[in-house]
Amino acid sequence: MLIRTLSYPRTDDRDYIKARREHSWFEAKQVLGCRHTNLIAEPLDYLEVRNDQDQFAFPRPGNIPTTEPVLVFETIHGDNLARWRQSARVDAARGMHVLGQVLEFLAKLHDAKLLLNVVAPAAFWVDDLHRVHFLGTENVVDDRRAATWRSLFPNERYAQGFVAPELLQPGVPPSRQSDLYGWAALVWFLLTGDSPAKLAADQQQRWARFEPAHRERLHRELARLTPLQVEKVKRELNVAGTRFESLWPDSFLDGLWACLNIDLAQRPGSVADLRAWWGNPPPPPVPACLVVHKHATAARIAFSTRGLRGGTQFQISRRFAQAPLSSKEGDVAWRGHTTGPVEVVVPPPPETGRGQAMAGEWCFSIFVVETQEGITSISRATEARLLDGTAPGFRRHFAESLASGATSLPEEVVLLGVLDPIEAVSAELLDSSEPRVRGWAVSLLERGVRAGSIGGVCRRLLEDRALIDDENAVRQQAAGALIRTSVLVDVETVIDLAQRMGGSAVDEMIRAARGFLALGVSAGVIDRAIEALEQAHRVVVCEVCQQELRARELDPHLMAEHHYVPLDGKLLPFGQALTRLWSRVLQRFDPESLQTLTGHLQQRHPQSVVSAFAAALAQQVLFALQSPLAHQSEEQRRTWSDGLARCLRSDQTARSACWSLLPHDDSRIRELARGVVLVAIAQRLDGGHVTSVLFRRAVDELAPVPIIAERIDVCRRLVDLGANPLAGEQCEQELDLERLIDCPECGTTFPKRDLPHHRRQEHHVFEWDGRRYDFDNLVALLLGRTVAVEPDAFAARSLTELFVERHGNGAWQPLFAGLRDQLLRAAEYEDVEALASGLGSAVGTLRLATRLTWAFLAEDNAVCQSAALALFANHDADPPADLSRLVATRLSQPELPFALCQQATVSLLRRPRVAADICRSALLELADRADDKLQGVELLHGLEQWVGASPAIEAACAELLSKIRMRCPRCEVSGTPTELAEHVRAEHGLILQGRSVRQPWSVAIDCLDEYAEHPKSHLLERAEQLAALASPDSGRKRLLREALRRGIAPEHYRREMIEANKSTSYSLCPECWESIPTGEAPLNEVQVDARGNVHWNEVSIRRVGIHGVWSSVEITPWDGPVPHWSFTLWGAVAMVGLLFLVPSVVFGLLAWQGIAAAESFAYFSLMVGSMSMTATAFLYLPRAIEPVDVAWELVVPALLDGEQPFGQSHSSFLASLARVSCGRGNAARRQSILRQVTQKVQSHLQSEAIPTRHLAELWHLRLCDELPVGQSGE
């Protein structure tokens, strides 16, 4: 049960206790007697309770009731509305169902002249069937005595957030509108789940103010309802009319927001009015209107159309002394559509019965008339304010009358600007003594500026009058209007506004400028404007010369007169600024500080900034090394030097200064300067074009002081930084030869390269590999190492130097004699070609090689002439033309090694300065070494692998071919090789090679083999041409496959093969690159469920009657033959039992009638029947039909005999059926059809691109059916 008792907020007031008890009895009687609504739960009983501890419980003067009513209700299986909303999953439809019941309850309560007074979730209970019950709130009052009982309800009695705002004002009684406000707050709570109490607490008040954002949230919740749900909501809210659904949810929210209006007069008067609002929503009223008398018989009316639809019709009614409250009252002064002021007639006042004019004036009301779907609706009346437009200053007086109640710009003031020009109205309002009215004038002027046509006049009023107003708020508002209407708010605009607002006081200007931050002006613009104001108007004194200056003149004065420089936003003396910058550069390696430092030096020393920086850098570094870094380790000083070098490397002036510091006297300064420029030099020396000469020149520039150790160190560091290592190694060797060494014989100091010459010339000491020799023995040793199969190039160079030192310009003669004799002796036991090649590689690059070549050619033996050819082939410089012509004449001699002749010819062809006739002669001489001219052509073409395509070779080959006549191997046609090759290709489709012909494909394969050894692009091009000749359609694809199979194909071959295969249903084998049918085609899946039924696509084969006496299989959908039926096992046993048990029963009945023989027959029949049933259970063969067997016996033959050609979809179904059939069904019954299916699939394997996987599934089923159980099929 539920028991309701009475609570006492105050217990020390006798009159209050009396009134509370009287109200409690009143509510109890209403609850007990109100049966016109089913929301009030019927109490089971009520009790009268006496509290003996209460000082007011016993009869005393004042006639205080001595008992209190306690109502006892039956337990409601549910919860109060607040907890129900939190625990249940409430959507918009369910919430509207509950709200409709509460609204109906309010209507019934109001009809009974009662007010709920407090609408709160705790007063209502919702049961399990979503029915609402009202248990009372101790707040129900009589509508006729609401003002009398108002004192019983202090503000604390009302639920926060659900109370109407007027109930919190003293003396305001509750009303039906306040109940509707609470119901609207309850709508928000149920549909959103957010309590209005929290909303009111956030707003720091007891009533909740609902904003447009809250309406948008409700709109989203209600918009989710379907049309059927909206129609149900309409029935639950008991709304009549046809526009509720079409305007949902806007019409509902309009009525709801009207209930939540703060203005009591704007709310619906009752539940019926609210429902009528929803059924036919009235248009919103005119927000404001204004009537101004222009003369005695006419007035102009202006009204605001804000929030109204375009094309709305208006009606202006008039009545004397009292404004019309409805459109039917008074006279219609005007009706129609308008977007501007309307002029109406003002008749004279009516006369009384005595012929005198009535006291008062005409009053006007404006109505909005809207017609939709044939239904006309009229808004509430908006009373028009009447002003005497003929009175002087009437606008100012009217605006001042509104200033006490309005905070923002009233609509009536805006309408003044509609009736008259804005600039005239604003100028008059600016004369007002009320700052708020002057602020409204600024707002009107801002609108005028935005209008455009009168923008200049309005802007001048803002600048000339509003900006110099006495009130700071008006000035700020005017500045905001000017800022908001400016296209660009820059520093000049802010300065101009600040100067106008601040007058002549610089502090006022700055204060005004800082106030612009709240108007949206960026802080950066304001800061720059304030700085400009300070500079322009603030007076300061120079701290150096005590001269008075403007603030903006101080910095230029210090920089021009006292050489100050800017640093960190300050001006510092030049020396002090440089000291700070040098400290940051040397300690923090700051590149920005370095750039600032060089910039200041550039301004101070524009002509000698590099030398000034270099001197300062050397001084600062030496000071740092002597004091701060003196006690640090060598590693720490090296780290500091590397960091400083990286910093100096970032500035061009610093890099130039470091170049001038390279010859400095102090090695530490030189090392630092080299660290700065070394990286850039290393980057210039990283190419293959860099020679040892260029490398040495760079080393000399980086180490101008002639200290060999420093230069060697520079050489190694350049190589470490990425310079050409070969050139660096050669340069280091040259530098090593310049190292000074003392002669061990006489102690004289010589460079290392000159010491051997000195010892040979002065002391006749000859050394080699650390051992001393006399001249002849050393020459013999060097000759032996020079003339060898693997010669020593250093020995050859040393041998040449020995002869040059002793014989001067004639050194080549004894050198030739020695080399010739040594060569002839070695030729007796070594290969001549190998000896000559070795001699050419060792001596061919020396400066005496040309003289030696002439000398060897003059000899008449093959050994010396072979050496001459090797020397000629290894020449660095272009040989003389006579020598080249002489060498060409030797190339045809058969006794000379062919390889050396070939190398000499290649050497001639590689030299661009050799005359063409010499090359032609050499090629023809070399071709004479062949057996015939055709082989000679092939021999010359073989030279192209070393020299590439050569015009000289082509010309020589063409000359040889022109002298050859050949006959076609396939016919009697004859001609030159060129003519015959074209004939064979065009007539026979063959390729002429030598004197025979070959198939193009075999020649293409030879090109691929040759490309594998020598990957030249022309070989692939030749192979592609031959493949296209062999087969124009498939030759290229075959060539690609062959190249990929051999692993020599370029990347674009592989991509071309893959792209060409994408459009087919085949896959590429990664080994042989053949196209094979893809094995990953998805199977047309056939599935078998737990009962053995077969399903695929939309077809099903199911057993029916399996638990009865017979069994069959059903195929859906199916239009073929119907599967047969058979007895189930239990059906067969039952049939046999009936055959034998019925006679036994009959004989048993006969025996019961007294026939003795019948009993024996009964027992016999029973025994035979039992034995027959047992035998049937074990021996009955027609078991239940399997759906898999039906698929093989009926579906598969229909598939094979169908009209559609056999394809991959058929084989996919058969393979999937074979997969699920393994181990299921009767193998013997499907053996024949399975064999036919296998042959069918195998015959279409290639022609229909059927995957081999499908055939494999069928063979796997055949093996499973043929092998005994448990035997492997592998």
CA distance 183 to 186: 5
The rounded percent of the chain whose pLDDT value lies above 70 is 74
Residues 903 and 799 in one domain: yes
Mean pLDDT confidence for 440-458: 81
Query: Is the per-residue pLDDT at 200 higher than 70?
Result: yes
Residues 1056 and 1097 in one domain: no
CA-closest candidate to residue 600, choices 561, 573, 622: 573
Query: Is the per-residue pLDDT at 673 higher than 80?
Result: yes
CA-closest candidate to residue 99, choices 227, 329, 247, 256: 256
CA-closest candidate to residue 151, choices 7, 29, 25, 19: 19
* 1147 occurs within a structural domain: no
Render pLDDT for 253-281 as a digit per residue (tens, 0 to 9): 888 888 888 877 678 888 888 888 788 78
Mean pLDDT confidence for 309-319: 82
Residue, of 220 and 1093, whose pLDDT is higher: 220
The number of beta carbons lying within 10 Å of the beta carbon of residue 1154 is: 7
Render pLDDT for 535-547 as a digit per residue (tens, 0 to 9): 777 667 777 787 7
pLDDT at 1: 40
**What is the Rg, in whole angstroms, of the alpha carbon atoms belonging to the chain?**
59
Mean pLDDT confidence for 41-70: 49
pLDDT at 57: 44
Q: Which of 129-138, 345-354, 926-935, 1221-1230 is the most confident on average? A: 1221-1230
Mean pLDDT confidence for 398-415: 72
CB 905 within 8 A of CB 953: no
Return the structure tokens found at 449: 């500026």
Q: Which of 68-77, 226-235, 1205-1214 has the lowest mean pLDDT?
A: 68-77
Residues in the chain, overall count: 1274
Contacts of 634 (CB under 8 A, 6+ apart): none
Residues 151 and 99 in one domain: yes
Q: What is the DSSP string of 551-566?
A: HHHHHHHHHHHS-EEE
List 365's β-bridge partners, or say none: 317, 383
Mean pLDDT confidence for 1259-1269: 71
* 115 occurs within a structural domain: yes
* 629 occurs within a structural domain: no
Residues 953 and 1028 in one domain: no
Residues 865 and 892 in one domain: yes
CB 1094 within 8 A of CB 1191: yes
Residues 1065 and 1102 in one domain: no
Residues 926 and 1050 in one domain: no
Residue, of 974 and 883, whose pLDDT is higher: 883
pLDDT at 1127: 57
Q: How confident is the model at residue 58 (pLDDT cuts 50, 70, 90)?
A: very low
* 414 occurs within a structural domain: no
Final residue belonging to a domain, choices 204, 221, 238: 221
Residues 797 and 939 in one domain: yes
Report whether the peptide linkage leading into residue 249 is cis, meaning its omega lies within 30 degrees of zero: yes
Mean pLDDT confidence for 671-692: 84
Residues 851 and 952 in one domain: yes
pLDDT at 1271: 40
**Pure H helices in 156-211:** 176-192, 196-202
pLDDT at 1131: 64
Query: Is the per-residue pLDDT at 946 higher than 80?
Result: no
pLDDT at 604: 83
pLDDT at 66: 55
The number of beta carbons lying within 10 Å of the beta carbon of residue 1183 is: 13
CA distance 425 to 444: 8
Our measurement of the distance from residue 1194's CA atom to the centroid of its chain's CA atoms, rounded to an integer in Å, reads 57
Our measurement of the distance from residue 346's CA atom to the centroid of its chain's CA atoms, rounded to an integer in Å, reads 70
Q: How confident is the model at residue 782 (pLDDT cuts 50, 70, 90)?
A: confident
Residues 209 and 302 in one domain: no
The number of beta carbons lying within 10 Å of the beta carbon of residue 637 is: 15
List 60's β-bridge partners, or say none: none
Q: How confident is the model at residue 446 (pLDDT cuts 50, 70, 90)?
A: confident
Q: Which of 497-501, 505-509, 571-575, 897-901 has the lowest mean pLDDT?
A: 505-509
The CATH number assigned to the domain holding 155 equals 1.10.510.10
Which domain range does residue 1224 map to?
1091-1108+1184-1274
* 856 occurs within a structural domain: yes
**How many CA within 13 A on the CB side of residue 442?**
30
* 1167 occurs within a structural domain: no
* 1232 occurs within a structural domain: yes
The CATH number assigned to the domain holding 296 equals 2.60.40.10
pLDDT at 59: 42
pLDDT at 964: 64
Q: In this structure, which amino acid lies at residue 162?
A: F
Contacts of 1090 (CB under 8 A, 6+ apart): none
- Say if residue 171 is exposed, middle or buried (CB neighbours under 10 Å; 0-12, 13-18, 19+): exposed
Query: Is the per-residue pLDDT at 96 higher than 80?
Result: yes
Contacts of 186 (CB under 8 A, 6+ apart): 81, 99, 102, 119, 121, 162
Final residue belonging to a domain, choices 1077, 1100, 1129: 1077
Final residue belonging to a domain, choices 196, 221, 246: 221
CA distance 145 to 1133: 92
Render pLDDT for 543-598 as a digit per residue (tens, 0 to 9): 778 776 666 666 777 777 777 888 877 777 888 888 888 888 888 888 888 888 88
**Number of domains into which the chain is organized:** 5
| Mean pLDDT, the chain, whole residue set | 76
CA-closest candidate to residue 145, choices 110, 114, 108: 114
Contacts of 56 (CB under 8 A, 6+ apart): 11, 14, 17, 18, 64
* 226 occurs within a structural domain: no
Mean pLDDT confidence for 7-13: 52
49 membership: H or E segment, kind and range:
strand 43-49
pLDDT at 65: 54
The pTM of the full predicted model, rounded to 2 decimals, is 0.38
Residues 81 and 208 in one domain: yes
Terminal Cα distance for the chain, rounded: 82
Residues 287 and 310 in one domain: yes
pLDDT at 56: 45
